[in-house]
Amino acid sequence: MDNQDNSKIYRVIGGIFISSIDPLLQADHEVLSKTYGITHILTVMKQALPDHYKANYTTMQIPIDDSPNEVLFTYFKQSNDFISSALFGNTFDELISDSENKDDALQQIKRTKHQGKILIHCSAGQSRSASFLIAFLMKFYQMNYKTAKYAISRSKPDIQPNESFKSQLLLYKKLDCEDDPKKLDMNAEYKQFLREMQFSQISGSSVEDNIKSFLSDSSNFKDEHNSGALNTNEPVYELRCKRCRQMLAKSNCFVNHDPPPEEPTEDGSEGYRNPANKQLYFTKNAFKSRRVISRERASNTCTHYFVEPLTWMKDELSKGEMEGKFNCLKCQAKVGGYSWKGSRCSCGKWMIPAMNLQVSKVDKVLIKRK
């Protein structure tokens, strides 16, 4: 990776610039406006800017660390609105509000020349600032993660969002760059992401505390009879117990997941040697040893339906166990299981926490077509 000059300000495209904190601390603040024409500054770090910047520029601060525990989604809308207002004079919603066709409006945004100029920075100008700029490019210019990152790295090759930020940006793109908190709160994949963030970084007694906190909030549980999905244009399914036909979940409760992606190694070696591919393999080690006894490729098919925590599951989940099984309410046949610490699907994907119904124990029944 190229060594970058942290004292420099790098122009990405149009009126968008990126940097570390260094040039803002070392130079006269007028350099930003006189040399680069910058009028807005987005600070993505907990350290505040000197007051003279706040007095002479339009500023906004996102107070986060470069940490895997940070939830970027919390700030996407306000950062996108701030960057858009700096460049176009309007937010994204305002830019598309007068258009009858969203796709036409997006194409118009691509052709619109930037009216203002903004500097986006964090401490090193590598992870946090790059992540929010990638999010903006994906939403406003319909880029995928790889293209958006490349658009920035052409000017500043050392940018590298941490792995958690990268995962969040990939999910953001998958959710069609939705940043409205109310709409996100209705999305099962997003809620699963929040649960994963809540439970994946804890250990010891904090696990029990988190479980108690989770169980005490009724909003964490979804009514399996909820027919919200019936109002969509998507087909609706029910999962029913194979033995007695008891309805267990509707498809609006499903937590869809993609199998771990195939990521070829740079040196051409077998995939399991690449840490990015670790979920693609099930590895068994010798007892109390790192010696590998066997390694099997994950399946191409999934043996579980992962679902949101449902109201009928609450009694079982409240027993205080770290993992257990779900029985059908009507016939008591085993239909699935759970693990607060997470479990893997047969495709290799980790789900944390994991609430699942087994494909072999339930029938998937179509109840509404498109």
Which of 212, 197, 245, 210 lies closest to 365, judged by CA?
245
Instruction: Check: CB of residue 59 under 8 Å from CB of residue 51.
Output: no
DSSP letter for 256, please. -
- The number of angstroms, rounded, from the C-alpha of 47 to the middle of its chain's C-alpha atoms is 25
Helix axes 73-88, 163-174, angle to 10 degrees: 70
Locate 255 and state its tokens: 């937590």
C-alpha to C-alpha distance for 247 and 237, rounded to whole angstroms: 10
Residue 269 burial (CB < 10 Å; 0-12/13-18/19+)? exposed
Distances 210 to 234, 317, 343 between C-alpha atoms, Å: 34, 13, 18
Dihedral in degrees, nearest 10, Cα atoms 127, 128, 131, 136: -150
Which residues contact residue 58 at a Cβ distance below 8 angstroms, ignoring those fewer than 6 apart? 39, 40, 41, 86
Specify the length of the chain in residues: 370
Q: Is 244 a catalytic residue?
A: no
Q: Count helices and strands (H / E) in the chain.
A: 13, 16
Catalytic machinery residues: 122
